Structures are given as structure tokens and as C-alpha cells.
Amino acid sequence: MALKSLSFLFLFSTAFAAIAPPQATTVEQLRNEAVSRKKEIAVLTTKIKNLENSLNQANKKFLSTVKVRKDIEESLSLVEKRLHQGQAEIQNLQNEINKRMKIAVVNSLGGQLNAKDMMAHKFIMISLQSQLKELETVEKSNLKQQLELQSQQEKLTEYVTLENDLGQLLGDLEIKKSDAAKSYLVERETLEKIQLKLAATQATQKIKKQHSKLSSSLLAIYAPPIEEFLSVEYKKKGVTFSYSGKKPVLATQKGRILFTGSLSTYGNVVMIDHGDETRSVILGQFTPKVEKGMIVSTSDVLGYTQEESSGKGKIYFELRQKNKVQNTFPLLDSSKFAAHSLNQSKI
């Protein structure tokens, strides 16, 4: 047993030596980069909110302008209709006046008029004067309609120009908002990669410090149940991984599924028997895809995490030997963290 222990510790130490590449990013550098990204995200968030406010104001003004423009078009249509009616009325009056004037002229050339003819002539002249006054009134009204038409046309041109300008402004603001949103998503994705790498780097360093405390009766090392995690919390027993989004939950070592189910408000649980009275327990916000009795190998998918409304969830992992919870953190395979950290290095 002592020989096996020494061999295991030698292999464990050798694995740690190959973890970090030359010029590896330090924890402090990752923290500084995360702070920088968070500041940029805050700036972009403010920018997007300001653009949204500008868009809302411009959109309200645009809709108001469109309504006014439509009202002007309706008013212009009515003015044009009245103007046409007035022009037709003027034409009719002019025709009637010309007709009566011809009659009056003919009567006046007939020489001596009797009383009856004179009454008729007088009636024609009175009617003619009335029609001339009516014509003058209609012409004045028509002139007023023409001025109103011109005013409405000028106003329509003004609002059509304003509508076009506002439409262009809305388009420009939408493009700026879209560009800002794309930059925001890129920064968020980059920040998450930095946080993942930071969590992996920190976990790796902490495990390296604690590997000397490994129990000689627990010779195997265990893969983390989730590779892409945001942070790791541990004390002297189990380990809690926080995550974001949908992630695969993995078997930490080969074994047989002993139990799957739910545990009160803590979420679902999968228990794996690894032999030698050693069992692992994975508990949290995930949906198991395995059943009791199945044989699994290291890193086989047991299920998938659930996307939480808060954006973050937790997976708890512990090892038990003879039904006693062990100090699990030092037993984790830090090379899995290191590999994950290297995969996230292109940020």
C-alpha cells in the first residue's frame, strides 16, 4: 500500500509539473483583465441604455410626425376638392353671366321698349348684378383656398422632410445600438472565458498546495463533475462549483450508478459506487440522463445543468469512504482544470 501511495504521489506531482505552459497567465493578470472587461461592459450597458432612450424619443417624434403628415395630406385633399368645386362654380357663373349679358345687350338694341320689356330688362340686370357679386365672392373664396393649398403643400413638404430625417436618425441609432449590443455580447463572452480560466487556475493552484494531504487509502484522483465553472467553494468536505448556462455534468471516476433521484430543495442527485467502499455524490441543479445500475467511465455525461433565471447555478460534489465524507478538494484531478484553462487561453 505504501509503494502504491508513493507511485501515485509521484505521478500526481509529475502531472502538476506539466500543467502550466511557459509564460502562463497569472491569477492577478486574470483578475485585472476581468476588472477591465467589467468596466467595459458597464460602459457598453450605459451606452445601450442611452441609445434605447434616444431611440424611444426619436420613435415617438417619428410617429407624431407621421400622424401630422397624414392629417396634412387629408386636409390638403379637402382643400383641393373645395378648390376644384369653386373653380367649377366660377365657370358656371361666368357662363351664366355671359348669357345674361348677351340677352341684355340684345334687348338694349331693340329700340323702344314697352313696359313689359323694360321690366324684363330690369330683372335681367338685377340678376346679372347679383351673379357678379356671387362670382366675386366665389373668386375670393377660391383665392383663399389657393393660399390655403399652398400653405398646406409647404407644410407637407416640411413634414415629409422631417419624417425622412427622423427615419434616417432611427436607422442610424438602430445600427449604433446593434453594434454596441454585439460589442457587449463579445465582452460578456470574453469575461466569462476569463472567469472560467481564473476559476480553473485558482483551483489548480489550491489543489497543488493540498496534494500532500491525500489519504493513502484514496489512491485514485477524480475529475471535476463540471469543467466549465465560474468559481469553486470548498471547506474540509465537499466542493461546490458555480456555473452559467447549460453544461454537461460528468462522471468523476469509473463506477456503477448506485442511485439517481431528487433531494428536497437541493436538486437532483446521482450517486456512483467506485468500489473499495468509495462513493461519489453529485448534487444540484441538473437533469440526470443515467439510470441505476449503469456502468460509467471517467468524464461520461451523467446529465446537463439547468439554466437558472438568475443566470448562475451550483453543482455540489463529495467523496465518501465507508459512508464518511472525505476532504474532497485535494482529490480532484487538477490536470482537468489545467486542460480547461488552456482551452480557454485564446481570449
310 falls in which pLDDT band (50, 70, 90)? Answer: low
Domain residues for the domain of 275 are 222-331
> Which residue type, as a one-letter code, is found at position 223?
A
Q: Is the pLDDT of residue 298 over 80?
A: yes
Mark whether 182 and 237 lie in a shared domain: no
Average per-residue pLDDT for the chain: 79
Q: Is the pLDDT of residue 203 over 80?
A: no
Mark whether 174 and 320 lie in a shared domain: no
Q: Is the pLDDT of residue 346 over 70?
A: no
Q: What is the pLDDT of residue 250?
A: 94
Better-scored residue on pLDDT, 219 or 151 = 151
How far is the C-alpha of 335 from the C-alpha of 290, rounded, in Å?
26
23 falls in which pLDDT band (50, 70, 90)? Answer: very low
Number of domains in the chain: 2
Burial of residue 175 (CB within 10 Å: 0-12, 13-18, 19+) is: exposed
**For the domain that residue 326 is a member of, what is the CATH number?**
2.70.70.10
Q: What is the pLDDT of residue 273?
A: 94
Q: What is the pLDDT of residue 10?
A: 37
Name the domain boundary from 215, 236, 262: 215
Residue pair 239/333 in contact by the 8 Å Cβ criterion: no
Better-scored residue on pLDDT, 149 or 190 = 190
Q: What is the DSSP letter of 273?
A: E
Read off the pLDDT of residues 260-293 as tens digits, 9 standing for 90 and up: 998 877 889 999 999 888 999 999 989 999 999 9
Hey, which of 70-84, 143-157, 158-172 has the most confident mean pLDDT? Answer: 158-172
Mark whether 188 and 148 lie in a shared domain: yes
Mark whether 207 and 232 lie in a shared domain: no
Which of 42-46, 150-154, 204-208 is the least confident region?
A: 204-208
Mark whether 69 and 186 lie in a shared domain: yes
Mean per-residue pLDDT, 109-133: 65
With a threshold of 0.75, does the pTM exceed it? no
Name the domain boundary from 193, 215, 237: 215
Q: Indicate the SS3 state at residue 283.
A: strand
Q: Is the pLDDT of residue 120 over 50?
A: yes
Q: Please report whether residue 338 resides in a domain.
A: no
Read off the pLDDT of residues 179-202 as tens digits, 9 standing for 90 and up: 999 999 999 888 888 887 887 777
Mark whether 183 and 236 lie in a shared domain: no
Read off the pLDDT of residues 34-52 as tens digits, 9 standing for 90 and up: 899 999 999 999 999 999 9
> Which residue type, as a one-letter code, is found at position 256?
R
